[in-house]
Structure 1
């Protein structure tokens, strides 16, 4: 294990967050993982992903460091870029993590968590502080409806007006995609198709290539479900190598976590 600095947490700037809701986002700083999972500054990294090639003992220690800040063990998921949303209170911590890309809860002290390294983490809660959710929203999940599934789950659980925070993800000037990604969002039946198209900027010197804005795509999708209180969207994982892991930048790399719970 590599020597480490104190962890550097990212506390969301989320004006509509109720006092009864706890949130935390990790960075790559403050763990024990060696390169290429380190902190980018010669010290140990806080990699929380068990599936990226890091030594299991390092990941376990990193998760212990995070666990000290939380009311309970997070409900870790096996994320597959799908749209399944499950009740985090039903996750068995002694079993392999269930396959899902979002979790929600109405139970106090249950921690919803997702891992990311360029994909968009979205945290959700209702303004009364009765329900929360964490969503793994890469472009494929966004196009297929993972946010719709998570919002529906919260509303079925009794949520009132919803608010969202968009965590660290690949920024719009660094996310180059092809026409397949554009077409995935532009269903002819989608009433927001024109708005969604505006989240793609064609590159002048590379016809058929675009910069995609995950933050804009998420805001448009949330607005289509009457979720208008949206904060965040201020980061770029690719551009900030000293703070965040980025798969697109580094290939082999760690994962940071975004977490939310009811106090």
Structure 2
């Protein structure tokens, strides 16, 4: 998917696109098609992988600042439940932590007004956002189980970080599928 920091959730039922087709724009993919893999790419945003092993419905979500505020994870879970998902579990991969994600005060206020759990302060005392805390709260409110990889992309040089490395940063990928 062409990730744009939004809340669009696409239902995918076949592989694609073909090499001559345009990649669809979205920040979450959902499928109930067995064997179809979904991928999310990140450098500091949260990769959220979702699955209901009983129904075989899976999802992959790119949750950045705007997406968390817009509820992209909530929308993906709702779309999965429309496809028959029941008991969901989420895996949240490495992302920039609240101790490191410095933002302007006004931005912190705007995001925290929508998702209060995101309000944070950096380890050096400036305004920050804790997107991981926001996503954890959203998943908890939806009754979704959670496994989290507690590594900060900015602090860990083994991980890709756009905030640390700018244009030179690579991307990490999260993959999910049922077989």
TM-score (norm 1): 0.62
Task: Work out the CA distance in 2 between the residues paired with 1:91 and 1:181.
Answer: 38
1:238 aligns with 2:144: no
Shift in Å, 1:184: 2.4
Q: Quick check: 1:88–1:111 contact (8 Å CA) kept in 2?
A: no
1:201 aligned residue: 120
Task: Work out the CA distance in 2 between the residues paired with 1:235 and 1:203.
Answer: 16
Show structure 1 runs of 4+ deviating over 4 A: 203-206
- SS state at 2:90 partner: strand
- SS state at 1:219 partner: helix
Alignment deviations for residues 147-187 of structure 1 (CA, whole Å, 9 cap, x no partner): 11101110000001111110111122111122323322314
Task: Work out the CA distance in 2 between the residues paired with 1:113 and 1:204.
Answer: 32
- SS state at 1:251 partner: helix
Give me the CA root mean square deviation: 1.9
Shift in Å, 1:142: 0.5
The answer to which structure has the higher helix fraction is 2
Alignment deviations for residues 12-71 of structure 1 (CA, whole Å, 9 cap, x no partner): xxxxxxxxxxxxxxxxxxxxxxxxxxxxxxxxxxxxxxxxxxxxxxxxxxxxxxxxxxxx
1:186 aligns with 2:101: no
Shift in Å, 1:97: 0.9
Q: Quick check: 2:43–2:172 contact (8 Å CA) kept in 1?
A: yes
1:210 aligns with 2:144: no
* 1:96 maps to which of 7, 12, 22: 22
- SS state at 1:132 partner: strand
Structure 1: tracts of 5 or more residues without a match? 1-76, 188-192
Task: Work out the CA distance in 2 between the residues paired with 1:85 and 1:149.
Answer: 7
Q: Quick check: 2:46–2:93 contact (8 Å CA) kept in 1?
A: yes
* 1:220 maps to which of 113, 134, 137: 137
Shift in Å, 1:125: 0.8
* 1:157 maps to which of 83, 98, 102: 83
Task: Work out the CA distance in 1 between the residues paired with 2:98 and 2:122.
Answer: 12
Shift in Å, 1:88: 2.5
1:251 aligned residue: 166
Question: Which of 1 and 2 has greater Rg?
Answer: 1
Q: Quick check: 1:81–1:138 contact (8 Å CA) kept in 2?
A: yes
TM-score (norm 2): 0.89
Shift in Å, 1:96: 1.8
Structure 2: tracts of 5 or more residues without a match? none
Shift in Å, 1:221: 1.0
Task: Work out the CA distance in 2 between the residues paired with 1:204 and 1:121.
Answer: 23
Task: Go from structure 1 to structure 2 and tell me whether the alpha carbon gap of 1:214 and 1:223 turns closer, same or farther (over 3 Å shift).
Answer: same
